[in-house]
Amino acid sequence: MSNAASVFRVDGKVALVVGGGSGIGQAAAVALGQSGATVVCADVNLAGAQATADQIIREGHRASALSMDITKKESIHAGVNGIKAAHGKIDILVSTPAINVRKRLLTYTDEELDRVVDLNLKGTFKVTQAVAQVMSDTGSGGSIILTSSVRSLVVEPGQGVYAATKASLVQMARGFAVELAPKGVRVNAIAPGVIDTPLTAPIKNNTEWYSAYSNRSALKRWGAPEELAWPIVFLASGASSFVTGTVLFVDGGWTAIDGRFEPPL
Protein backbone atom coordinates (compact mmCIF):
# COMPACT_ATOMS: atom_id res chain seq x y z
CA MET A 1 0.00 0.00 0.00
CA SER A 2 1.26 3.46 -0.90
CA ASN A 3 1.84 6.04 1.79
CA ALA A 4 2.85 9.68 1.90
CA ALA A 5 6.53 8.78 1.67
CA SER A 6 6.48 5.95 -0.87
CA VAL A 7 4.10 7.52 -3.39
CA PHE A 8 6.72 10.08 -4.37
CA ARG A 9 9.46 7.44 -4.71
CA VAL A 10 10.64 6.05 -8.05
CA ASP A 11 12.50 3.01 -6.75
CA GLY A 12 13.30 0.47 -9.44
CA LYS A 13 12.65 2.96 -12.24
CA VAL A 14 15.11 3.80 -15.01
CA ALA A 15 15.15 7.53 -15.78
CA LEU A 16 16.69 9.15 -18.84
CA VAL A 17 17.36 12.84 -18.23
CA VAL A 18 18.30 14.64 -21.43
CA GLY A 19 20.14 17.86 -20.68
CA GLY A 20 21.38 16.33 -17.45
CA GLY A 21 24.72 18.10 -17.65
CA SER A 22 23.54 21.45 -16.30
CA GLY A 23 20.66 23.58 -15.08
CA ILE A 24 17.20 22.10 -14.64
CA GLY A 25 18.24 18.76 -16.14
CA GLN A 26 21.10 18.38 -13.70
CA ALA A 27 18.89 19.21 -10.72
CA ALA A 28 16.19 16.80 -11.94
CA ALA A 29 18.71 14.00 -12.41
CA VAL A 30 20.04 14.43 -8.86
CA ALA A 31 16.53 14.55 -7.37
CA LEU A 32 15.44 11.44 -9.28
CA GLY A 33 18.53 9.63 -8.03
CA GLN A 34 17.73 10.67 -4.47
CA SER A 35 14.20 9.36 -5.03
CA GLY A 36 15.38 5.88 -5.98
CA ALA A 37 15.71 5.89 -9.75
CA THR A 38 18.62 4.58 -11.76
CA VAL A 39 19.49 7.74 -13.67
CA VAL A 40 21.06 8.00 -17.11
CA CYS A 41 22.37 11.52 -17.56
CA ALA A 42 22.49 12.43 -21.25
CA ASP A 43 23.88 15.63 -22.67
CA VAL A 44 25.65 16.92 -25.76
CA ASN A 45 28.33 17.87 -23.23
CA LEU A 46 29.47 14.46 -22.01
CA ALA A 47 31.75 15.95 -19.35
CA GLY A 48 28.79 17.76 -17.80
CA ALA A 49 26.65 14.63 -17.88
CA GLN A 50 29.43 12.61 -16.27
CA ALA A 51 29.85 15.22 -13.53
CA THR A 52 26.14 14.93 -12.70
CA ALA A 53 26.31 11.13 -12.71
CA ASP A 54 29.37 11.23 -10.46
CA GLN A 55 27.51 13.46 -8.00
CA ILE A 56 24.59 11.03 -7.87
CA ILE A 57 26.95 8.09 -7.35
CA ARG A 58 28.79 9.92 -4.56
CA GLU A 59 25.45 10.31 -2.80
CA GLY A 60 25.08 6.52 -2.88
CA HIS A 61 22.67 6.22 -5.79
CA ARG A 62 22.85 4.65 -9.27
CA ALA A 63 23.74 6.70 -12.33
CA SER A 64 25.63 6.70 -15.61
CA ALA A 65 26.33 9.21 -18.36
CA LEU A 66 26.18 9.22 -22.13
CA SER A 67 26.64 11.68 -24.96
CA MET A 68 23.43 12.54 -26.80
CA ASP A 69 22.63 15.20 -29.39
CA ILE A 70 18.86 15.25 -29.81
CA THR A 71 19.11 17.11 -33.12
CA LYS A 72 20.64 13.92 -34.57
CA LYS A 73 18.43 10.84 -34.83
CA GLU A 74 21.38 8.44 -34.87
CA SER A 75 22.67 9.88 -31.60
CA ILE A 76 19.25 9.47 -29.97
CA HIS A 77 18.81 5.89 -31.13
CA ALA A 78 22.32 4.89 -30.11
CA GLY A 79 21.68 6.22 -26.61
CA VAL A 80 18.17 4.82 -26.24
CA ASN A 81 19.16 1.41 -27.58
CA GLY A 82 22.12 1.35 -25.22
CA ILE A 83 19.89 2.06 -22.23
CA LYS A 84 17.42 -0.61 -23.33
CA ALA A 85 20.23 -3.14 -23.70
CA ALA A 86 21.66 -2.30 -20.29
CA HIS A 87 18.43 -1.98 -18.30
CA GLY A 88 15.71 -3.58 -20.38
CA LYS A 89 13.43 -0.57 -20.13
CA ILE A 90 13.06 3.18 -19.73
CA ASP A 91 10.42 4.28 -17.23
CA ILE A 92 10.98 8.03 -17.11
CA LEU A 93 12.06 10.61 -19.67
CA VAL A 94 12.86 14.19 -18.74
CA SER A 95 13.82 16.38 -21.70
CA THR A 96 15.18 19.87 -20.99
CA PRO A 97 17.49 21.09 -23.82
CA ALA A 98 16.62 24.43 -25.42
CA ILE A 99 18.24 27.46 -26.99
CA ASN A 100 17.00 31.00 -27.48
CA VAL A 101 18.33 33.36 -30.13
CA ARG A 102 17.21 36.69 -28.66
CA LYS A 103 16.36 38.81 -31.72
CA ARG A 104 13.35 40.65 -33.01
CA LEU A 105 11.41 38.61 -35.52
CA LEU A 106 12.02 40.90 -38.49
CA THR A 107 15.77 40.37 -38.11
CA TYR A 108 15.68 36.57 -37.76
CA THR A 109 17.63 34.63 -40.36
CA ASP A 110 16.65 31.24 -41.74
CA GLU A 111 19.68 29.70 -40.04
CA GLU A 112 18.68 31.12 -36.64
CA LEU A 113 15.10 29.91 -37.08
CA ASP A 114 16.33 26.44 -37.92
CA ARG A 115 18.68 26.35 -34.91
CA VAL A 116 15.92 27.12 -32.42
CA VAL A 117 13.27 24.93 -34.01
CA ASP A 118 15.64 22.01 -34.64
CA LEU A 119 16.60 21.73 -30.98
CA ASN A 120 13.61 22.98 -29.02
CA LEU A 121 10.85 21.42 -31.10
CA LYS A 122 12.18 18.79 -33.49
CA GLY A 123 14.83 17.51 -31.11
CA THR A 124 12.32 17.13 -28.30
CA PHE A 125 9.94 15.35 -30.65
CA LYS A 126 12.63 12.92 -31.82
CA VAL A 127 13.79 11.89 -28.36
CA THR A 128 10.21 11.63 -27.08
CA GLN A 129 9.24 9.46 -30.03
CA ALA A 130 12.20 7.14 -29.51
CA VAL A 131 11.67 6.71 -25.76
CA ALA A 132 7.89 6.39 -26.13
CA GLN A 133 8.47 3.53 -28.54
CA VAL A 134 10.54 1.69 -25.94
CA MET A 135 7.91 2.34 -23.26
CA SER A 136 5.19 1.07 -25.58
CA ASP A 137 7.15 -2.03 -26.62
CA THR A 138 8.04 -3.09 -23.08
CA GLY A 139 4.45 -2.63 -21.92
CA SER A 140 5.48 -1.32 -18.52
CA GLY A 141 4.16 2.20 -19.05
CA GLY A 142 6.10 5.28 -18.08
CA SER A 143 6.17 9.01 -17.53
CA ILE A 144 7.49 11.59 -19.97
CA ILE A 145 8.12 15.18 -18.88
CA LEU A 146 8.81 17.83 -21.51
CA THR A 147 10.08 21.32 -20.67
CA SER A 148 7.89 24.17 -21.85
CA SER A 149 8.03 27.69 -20.39
CA VAL A 150 5.95 30.65 -19.25
CA ARG A 151 6.72 31.82 -22.78
CA SER A 152 4.12 29.33 -23.98
CA LEU A 153 1.59 31.90 -22.74
CA VAL A 154 3.34 35.27 -22.68
CA VAL A 155 6.06 36.76 -24.83
CA GLU A 156 8.29 39.81 -24.99
CA PRO A 157 10.36 41.35 -27.82
CA GLY A 158 13.20 39.08 -28.85
CA GLN A 159 11.60 35.80 -27.75
CA GLY A 160 9.01 35.16 -30.46
CA VAL A 161 10.55 32.03 -31.99
CA TYR A 162 11.53 30.57 -28.61
CA ALA A 163 7.98 31.20 -27.35
CA ALA A 164 6.49 29.55 -30.42
CA THR A 165 8.51 26.39 -29.81
CA LYS A 166 7.57 26.30 -26.14
CA ALA A 167 3.88 26.70 -26.96
CA SER A 168 4.20 23.92 -29.52
CA LEU A 169 5.69 21.62 -26.88
CA VAL A 170 2.50 21.94 -24.84
CA GLN A 171 0.41 20.61 -27.73
CA MET A 172 3.06 17.98 -28.44
CA ALA A 173 2.78 16.75 -24.85
CA ARG A 174 -0.99 16.61 -25.15
CA GLY A 175 -0.79 14.76 -28.45
CA PHE A 176 1.60 12.15 -27.09
CA ALA A 177 -0.51 11.86 -23.91
CA VAL A 178 -3.63 11.02 -25.87
CA GLU A 179 -1.94 8.53 -28.17
CA LEU A 180 0.15 6.80 -25.51
CA ALA A 181 -2.51 6.53 -22.81
CA PRO A 182 -3.56 3.01 -23.92
CA LYS A 183 0.05 1.93 -23.33
CA GLY A 184 0.07 3.30 -19.79
CA VAL A 185 2.44 6.14 -20.67
CA ARG A 186 1.72 9.55 -19.17
CA VAL A 187 3.06 12.69 -20.85
CA ASN A 188 3.12 16.15 -19.29
CA ALA A 189 4.93 19.44 -19.68
CA ILE A 190 6.52 21.55 -17.00
CA ALA A 191 6.63 25.31 -17.53
CA PRO A 192 9.39 27.11 -15.65
CA GLY A 193 9.45 30.80 -14.99
CA VAL A 194 12.76 32.63 -14.85
CA ILE A 195 15.28 30.13 -13.49
CA ASP A 196 18.97 30.67 -12.81
CA THR A 197 20.51 28.41 -15.48
CA PRO A 198 23.11 28.74 -18.26
CA LEU A 199 20.29 29.66 -20.67
CA THR A 200 19.44 32.77 -18.64
CA ALA A 201 23.04 33.84 -17.94
CA PRO A 202 22.86 36.83 -20.35
CA ILE A 203 19.99 38.23 -18.28
CA LYS A 204 21.66 37.63 -14.94
CA ASN A 205 24.75 39.48 -16.14
CA ASN A 206 22.65 42.62 -16.76
CA THR A 207 21.68 44.07 -13.36
CA GLU A 208 18.71 46.09 -14.63
CA TRP A 209 17.34 43.18 -16.65
CA TYR A 210 17.87 40.73 -13.79
CA SER A 211 16.03 42.99 -11.32
CA ALA A 212 13.16 43.60 -13.73
CA TYR A 213 12.59 39.86 -14.07
CA SER A 214 12.79 39.41 -10.31
CA ASN A 215 10.12 42.05 -9.79
CA ARG A 216 7.90 40.61 -12.52
CA SER A 217 6.98 37.46 -10.58
CA ALA A 218 4.63 37.40 -7.60
CA LEU A 219 7.43 36.03 -5.38
CA LYS A 220 9.77 38.85 -6.49
CA ARG A 221 12.72 36.58 -7.19
CA TRP A 222 14.25 34.13 -9.64
CA GLY A 223 13.84 30.40 -9.20
CA ALA A 224 16.60 27.86 -8.62
CA PRO A 225 16.91 24.67 -10.72
CA GLU A 226 16.22 22.59 -7.61
CA GLU A 227 12.78 24.22 -7.37
CA LEU A 228 11.93 22.60 -10.70
CA ALA A 229 13.46 19.25 -9.76
CA TRP A 230 10.89 18.19 -7.18
CA PRO A 231 7.86 19.05 -9.34
CA ILE A 232 9.53 16.90 -12.01
CA VAL A 233 9.87 14.05 -9.50
CA PHE A 234 6.16 14.48 -8.74
CA LEU A 235 5.29 14.09 -12.43
CA ALA A 236 7.58 11.07 -12.71
CA SER A 237 6.19 9.33 -9.63
CA GLY A 238 3.01 7.53 -8.71
CA ALA A 239 1.86 10.67 -6.90
CA SER A 240 0.77 11.98 -10.30
CA SER A 241 -0.78 8.71 -11.54
CA PHE A 242 -3.93 10.46 -12.83
CA VAL A 243 -2.08 13.42 -14.35
CA THR A 244 -1.43 13.38 -18.09
CA GLY A 245 -1.68 15.79 -20.99
CA THR A 246 -1.33 18.86 -18.81
CA VAL A 247 1.10 21.66 -18.00
CA LEU A 248 2.50 22.35 -14.55
CA PHE A 249 3.61 25.98 -14.20
CA VAL A 250 6.50 26.46 -11.76
CA ASP A 251 6.94 30.18 -12.26
CA GLY A 252 6.79 32.00 -8.92
CA GLY A 253 3.44 33.44 -9.93
CA TRP A 254 4.72 34.96 -13.20
CA THR A 255 1.59 34.01 -15.14
CA ALA A 256 -0.74 34.92 -12.26
CA ILE A 257 0.30 38.51 -11.61
CA ASP A 258 -1.01 41.25 -13.90
CA GLY A 259 1.49 43.90 -14.84
CA ARG A 260 4.25 45.66 -12.96
CA PHE A 261 2.13 48.37 -11.31
CA GLU A 262 0.77 48.05 -7.77
CA PRO A 263 -2.64 49.80 -7.71
CA PRO A 264 -3.19 52.28 -4.84
CA LEU A 265 -6.03 50.32 -3.26
Looking at residue 200, what is its pLDDT?
76
The residues that bridge with 147 in the sheet, in sequence order, are 190
In terms of Cα–Cα distance, which of 178, 32, 156, 36 is closest to 103?
Answer: 156
HSE-up of residue 59 (Cα within 13 Å, Cβ side): 20
Burial of 33: CB neighbours in 10 Å, binned 0-12, 13-18, 19+:
buried
Q: Which residues contact 183 (CB under 8 A, 6 or more apart)?
A: 135, 136, 139, 141
Sheet with 92-95, strands from edge to edge, namely 63-67, 38-43, 14-18, 92-95, 142-147, 185-192, 247-250
CATH number of 6-199+222-250: 3.40.50.720
Q: For the chain, 265 residues long, give each residue's pLDDT as a single digit of tens.
A: 567 778 999 999 999 999 999 999 999 999 999 999 999 999 999 999 999 999 999 999 999 999 999 999 999 999 999 999 999 999 999 999 999 999 999 999 999 999 999 999 999 999 999 999 999 999 989 999 999 999 999 998 999 999 999 999 999 999 999 999 999 999 999 999 988 877 777 777 888 888 888 888 889 888 999 999 999 999 999 999 999 999 999 999 999 987 666 666 6
- Whether the CB-CB separation of 180 and 135 falls below 8 Å is answered with yes
Looking at residue 209, what is its pLDDT?
83
Burial of 255: CB neighbours in 10 Å, binned 0-12, 13-18, 19+:
middle
Looking at residue 235, what is its pLDDT?
98
- Whether the CB-CB separation of 96 and 46 falls below 8 Å is answered with no
Other residues' Cβ atoms within 10 Å of the Cβ of residue 263: 6
Looking at residue 182, what is its pLDDT?
97
Burial of 243: CB neighbours in 10 Å, binned 0-12, 13-18, 19+:
middle
Residues with a known catalytic role:
162
- Whether the CB-CB separation of 173 and 166 falls below 8 Å is answered with no
Looking at residue 265, what is its pLDDT?
62
Looking at residue 67, what is its pLDDT?
98
Dihedral over alpha carbons 51, 54, 59, 60 (to 10 degrees): 160
The pTM for the full model equals: 0.94
* Distant-in-sequence contacts of 70-77, Cβ < 8 A, 24+ apart: 70/18, 70/44, 70/95, 70/97, 70/119, 70/123, 70/124, 70/126, 70/127, 71/118, 71/119, 71/122, 71/123, 71/126, 73/126, 76/126, 76/127, 76/130, 77/130
Q: Which residues contact 8 (CB under 8 A, 6 or more apart)?
A: 35, 233, 234, 237, 238, 239
Alpha helices in 139-180 (DSSP H): 160-180
Question: Model confidence over 127-167: pLDDT tens digits?
Answer: 999 999 999 999 989 999 999 999 999 998 999 999 999 99
- Whether the CB-CB separation of 96 and 45 falls below 8 Å is answered with no
Question: Model confidence over 46-65: pLDDT tens digits?
Answer: 999 999 999 999 999 999 99
